[in-house]
Structure 1
Amino acid sequence: MYQEDIKSMLPSDISSEDSAVFVNNYIKNWATEQLLLDQAKLNLPNQKQKEFDALVKDYRNELYIEAYKDLILSGKIDTVFQEEELQKYYEENTNNFKLNQDLLKFRYIYLNKKFPEFDKIKAQFTRFDKEDQIQLDKETLKFKAYSLNDSVWVSGRDFFRQLPILKDEESKDILKEDKFLQQADSLGVYLIKIEEVLLRNENAPFEYAKPTIKQILLNRKKIKLSKDFEKEITKDALKNNKFEIYN
């Protein structure tokens, strides 16, 4: 080991005292590794060492090949998918997308106990038509906390995290569609409306499964392009006499 090797390993913002400790530990670890390696080469059977050398060679070749293919294919692969393509795959494979957690669509408002026009806000919150939504949006700065976007699926874990007044162990009674809750603590009042619920092991909704579907289809494209590229490079080598099969 040389001084230049150690310099390249040192963090840029390390102090003089810490650098001395770092260098000592690094040297000891390196020396221990080298000693163990020497002993392994002396004591392991030759056949076992040949197996390891073959594995290392195969792994090295694989790293080079995959890095090269990624470099070539990254500029060719189309990562854009039409909504119809994603929807079609989902419909054909719906049963493969099972939820591993509960999902909800909900909204809530957290108000001071003495909030002015509480009954009016509560009525707008429960009815929640377009005009109500507009009016509530104008009042959000007066709320202690809120989430009025009930069109997005949220995990049960995030639901209880946002609403600490509710307890996870009560979830069986709480997680029901079209359920309204009014809960008070020492600081204020929660108004909660659960619109939709999907429980663990039910089929995941399309919106929730969409990122996974995109990744599946993207992987399919990569595999096909990779195989096509392998065929192309072999065909080109045969054409240019860089590769020949003897019978």
Structure 2
Amino acid sequence: MSTLRVLVFGVFAFVLLLTSCDDYFKKKEVRAPLARVGEAYLYKEDIANLITSGMSKVDSASFVSNYINSWASRQLLLSKSKINLSEEKLKEFDALVANYRTDLYTRAYKEALVSQGADSLITQKQLEEFYELEKENFKLKERLVKIRFIELPKTFLNKEEVSKSLKNFNPDDIVYLDSIGVQFKKLHFNDSLWVTSSRVLEEIPAITADNEDKYLKKSQFFELEDSMAVYLGKIEDVKQVNDIAPLSFISPTIKQVLLSRRKIDYLRKLETEIIDEAIRDKEFEIFTKNE
């Protein structure tokens, strides 16, 4: 052995000896338990994160006391159950716990893999193709409307001008309505969006299930009043129950369906690749009986 190699080996051995001595002389950390039930211990750090900074000393002491009693109760019941339940039941529960633990880990891991690897982009063309293929499954269960409306205070003075502008809704009208919008209690000018009738009934209490057929009609303009406010509205378009839902309304649902299918396909492909790799690396094999 050369002098250099001996020197290097000697230095390495000396450092290793110092490290070992340092570890040996380190004082072992002793954790003071808060409570014990049999062989199970509850330590201060187990509940440290549960005590918030807003708690007073009295509140935190009460919380710790209650937590210790609750913990002890669970531990005692657990130990009693292990003594008094049958062996079959214990095996059954152990298997359930093991399966749950496995499912918890694998689900979290698969979600992480999907978020990193699965494509989450859904194009307009994909939405349209799926919509055309499945449109018979998208029949409406409630009426949809395109609406613009304004809710005015009952004391509002220039109601006729606002009503006229909302009805005509040309560029000058829009500028005018925007300029005084702070005086309205509510406003909704985006009449290109489809809105469910139930949402309209929530926003305009003067329209109810009993009179919605009268007011939620295409091209209908209404002026309604109750004890709280005055409601002005114009219905631009309507889709009735059992009509095919418009693509613009159903697009978020279609997107979720497509993403869910893509996720399932990705996971199936991933599981196949994992098994193939394990077989290739001789980490997984199936034993069959020789007949």
Aligned counterpart, 1:155: 196
Residue 134 of structure 1: CA displacement? Answer: 4.0
Report the counterpart of residue 110 of structure 1 in structure 2: 151
Q: Is 1:218 the equivalent of 2:255? A: no
Q: Which residue of 2 aligns with 1:174?
A: 215
Q: 1:33 aligns with which of 63, 71, 74?
A: 74
Residue segments in structure 2 that go unaligned for 5+ positions in a row:
1-41
Matched, 1:48 2:69: no
| Mean Cα deviation higher: 97-106 or 35-44 | 97-106
Tell me the SS of whatever aligns to 2:55. Answer: coil
What CA distance in whole angstroms lies between the structure 1 residues aligned with 2:238 and 2:58?
A: 58
Shift in Å, 1:142:
4.3
Q: In structure 2, give the amino acid aligned to 1:154.
A: V
After superposition, what is the alpha-carbon deviation per residue over 1:172-209, rounded to whole angstroms, capped at 9, x for unaligned? 43333322111235676432112233455554332222
Give aligned-pair identity as a percent.
39
Number of matched pairs: 246
Return closer, same or farther for 1:233/1:199 CA change in 2, 3 Å cut-off.
same
TM-score normalised by the chain length of structure 2:
0.74
Structure 1 runs not aligned, ≥5 long: none
Q: Within 5 Å, give how 1:1-247 maps onto structure 2.
A: 1-111=42-152, 115-116=157-158, 118-185=159-226, 189-199=230-240, 202-247=243-288
Calculate the aligned-residue CA RMSD, in Å. 2.6
Whichever of the two has the greater Rg, that structure is 2
Structure with more contact order per residue of length (Cα contacts < 8 Å, sep ≥ 6): 1
CA–CA distance in structure 1, aligned partners of residues 160 and 134 of structure 2? 47
Aligned equivalents of 1:245, 1:81: Cα separation in 2: 40
Deviates more, 1:89-98 or 1:46-55: 89-98
In the TM superposition, residue 240 of structure 1 has moved relative to its aligned partner by: 2.1
| Structure 1 residues 68 and 110, CA gap change in structure 2 (3 angstroms) | closer
Q: CA deviation at 1:131?
A: 4.6
Does 27-36 or 104-113 show the bigger shift? 104-113
Kindly provide the amino acid, as one letter, of the partner of residue 235 in structure 1.
D
Q: What secondary structure, in the 3-state scheme, does the structure 2 residue paired with 1:243 have?
A: coil
In the TM superposition, what whole-angstrom CA distance separates every residue of 1:103-138 from its partner, at most 9, and x where no partner exists?
33211123465634x444323321224453344334
